[in-house]
Amino acid sequence: MNREQDLADAFVELADTLVDDFDVIEFLQQLCTRCTQLLAVDAAGVFLAPPDEVPQAVAPCDPVPELADVLTTAAHDGPARECCRTAAPAAPVDLHQCANRWPHFTARARHAGYSCAGALPLRLRSDTLGCLLLLRTVGSPLPAADVRLAQALADAAAIGLIHEQTLRRHRTTTLQLRTALHSRITIEQAKGVLATRLDTTVDDAFELMRAHARRHRRRLTLVAQAIIDQGLIPEAPSPTSTDHPAAPA
């Protein structure tokens, strides 16, 4: 019953990314911890791999020195590098048979006491974020059920990360839209105020505002706010003046 509860808790944790204080390092650290709890592995590491860049180990964030050396090498040679490059699993294999396939990684991993290694992609359909590296101190193959579970955990982590990224982009876009809307309202109010004060049209008032913003290299929204709050009256440009581009509203 405890294993079933641990499995349920692990997948809930990997889905719980839509929070204000989300910490991606803590999230991936927990993925590594769950792997060592639920799978027949002795260590796990997560690599993130932006397109066309060398993978970088981001978890565990405080590995023991021997594991840290393995992770450093794995970024350039070994199953993690291969998995990130191909976006396909590098099935866990006995490292005694991989001296030619991954010479540098194999030597470093065996020196650290690991005899079996493999990597599984963190991906959601066509989006691959990196990979999950699995290490064992025994050379026998990782049970097939554990491989499937590890891939399920990696998939769940990828889904959680992509959802968090999507939410962050949505929040940024929403904030930008609200800012633009607020700026537009402020400018419209200032046009009306200035037109009334100068007994002119709103179009002429807007041209005065824009010319003032350009001459002083100020944002149009700030000029509009000064008209409303401080009673600013933009002076008409002289015939010889040269306007500079206004700063963004």
In the predicted structure, residue 100 carries a pLDDT above the cut 80? yes
pLDDT for 56: 84
List of domains in the chain: 2-169 (3.30.450.40)
Transcribe the chain into DSSP letters: -HHHHHHHHHHHHHH---STT--HHHHHHHHHHHHHHHSS-SEEEEEE--TTS--EEEESSS--HHHHHHHHHHTTSSHHHHHHHHSS-EEEEEGGG-TTTSHHHHHHHHHTT--EEEEEEEEETTEEEEEEEEEESS-SPPPHHHHHHHHHHHHHHHHHHHHHHHHHHHHHHHHHHHHHHHHHHHHHHHHHHHHHHHT--HHHHHHHHHHHHHHHT-BHHHHHHHHHHH---PPPPPTT--PPPPBP-
Section 221-241 average pLDDT: 80
Q: How confident is the model at residue 167 (pLDDT cuts 50, 70, 90)?
A: low
Q: How confident is the model at residue 58 (pLDDT cuts 50, 70, 90)?
A: confident
pLDDT for 175: 64
Per residue in 129-150, pLDDT (tens digit) is 889 999 999 878 888 999 999 9
